[in-house]
Amino acid sequence: MRPNLILLGAPGSGKGTQANRLVSEFGYKHLSTGDLLRAEIAKESDLGQRVKGVLDRGDLVDDNMVLELLKVNCDLENASHIFDGFPRNNEQARMLDEVVLGDSTALAIYFELDLGVLKDRLVNRRTCKDCGVIYNLLFNAPKTEGVCDSCGGTNLEHRKDDNEETVSNRLQVFKDQVEPILAHYEAKGTLRRVDASQKPGEVFTEVEAVLGN
Ligand code: AP5
Ligand code: MG
């Protein structure tokens, strides 16, 4: 099996975009804690109702709540996983190692770029609710406005936390937490860095190089 991957990077750095491609080309199972939390909010579960305000503000959800959600969606015996959006702090990095991965190996890939470009990426993002393809109205718009190129669906979602005010808070939360997480994987010798300021295809080429392809 391929190594599990931990995608680290700021909001809008391209974790979801690259994960979608890794799934279609290499069969990874994609676990985005943000997607899992949004699904709980959409189905108005107890958890969803408790976390909705936190996501709307762009703050972090309680570590143990996210860990439980991650654990029930993990199937490490049968597939290599992409962890997208987890860990978000040092405690979650420890939980991922000890509670989730155990003896399974994982490489951490840091999507590195200047945070100044991210507001444009985020406020112009649209995501197909039917098949998950991620667009950007400035850099990668669907060919027909409001229609997914891939599945023809017409539910192109503008995420509620992709407004200027929440994006500013999300970027600040990221800046406050990222260094210890990078240090954690640096110390283990499993940290790899890619230049996420390039076009999506070029970023993917670097990711493939990390995988040894
Ligand atoms: P989450 O859903 O994880 O959001 P995020 O980390 O803020 O990351 P994004 O999904 O916004 O960005 P991305 O890197 O996936 O970028 P994408 O590929 O879509 O988390 C949301 C919230 O959930 C958090 O704020 C928190 O409240 C909660 N949460 C989640 N996990 C948690 C945890 N572990 N603990 C506690 N709370 C948690 O791309 C973005 C845009 O850029 C798109 O428009 C795309 O088309 C475009 N784009 C992508 N690549 C490129 C490129 N190379 N060039 C130009 N444009 C590009
Ligand atoms: Mg994402």
- Ligand 1 neighbour 20 (Cβ under 6 A): no
Mark 92-107 as b/e (b = at least 16 C-beta within 10 Å).
Answer: bbebbbeebbeeeebb
Q: Is this structure's pTM higher than 0.95?
A: yes
Tell which atom from ligand 1 comes closest to the C-alpha of 87: 34
**CA-wise closest residue to 58 among 85, 77, 31:** 85
pLDDT tens, 184-205? 999 999 999 999 999 999 999 9
Q: Answer whether 6's CB lies under 8 Å from 185's CB.
A: yes
**Omega within 30 of 0 (cis) for the link into 87:** yes
CA quadruple 181, 55, 173, 115: dihedral positive or negative? Answer: positive
Which ligand neighbours the alpha carbon of 136 most closely?
1
Q: How confident is the model at residue 12 (pLDDT cuts 50, 70, 90)?
A: very high
Q: Please tell me the distance from the alpha carbon of residue 37 to that of residue 39, in angstroms, as a whole number.
A: 5
Pocket test for ligand 1, best of 7, 8, 17 (most atoms within 8 A of CB): 17
Q: Tell me the one-letter amino acid at 201.
A: G
- What top-level class would CATH report for the domain 4-114+172-212? alpha beta
Tokens of 47: 């958890």
Give the distance (Å) from ligand 1 centre to CA of residue 97.
22
Residue 94 annotated as catalytic: no
- Ligand 1 neighbour 6 (Cβ under 6 A): no
Residue 159 annotated as catalytic: yes
Give the distance (Å) from ligand 1 centre to CA of residue 10.
7
Give the distance (Å) from ligand 1 centre to CA of residue 111.
11
Is 186 strand, coil or helix? helix
- Mean pLDDT of all residues in 149-165: 97
Q: Please tell me the distance from the alpha carbon of residue 20 to that of residue 16, in angstroms, as a whole number.
A: 6
Beta-ladder partners of 191: 108
Is 87 strand, coil or helix? coil
Q: Please tell me the distance from the alpha carbon of residue 9 to that of residue 193, in angstroms, as a whole number.
A: 10
Position 64 pLDDT exceeds 80: yes
Percent of the chain residues topping a pLDDT of 70: 100
Position 89 pLDDT exceeds 80: yes
- H or E segment to which residue 84 belongs: strand 81-84
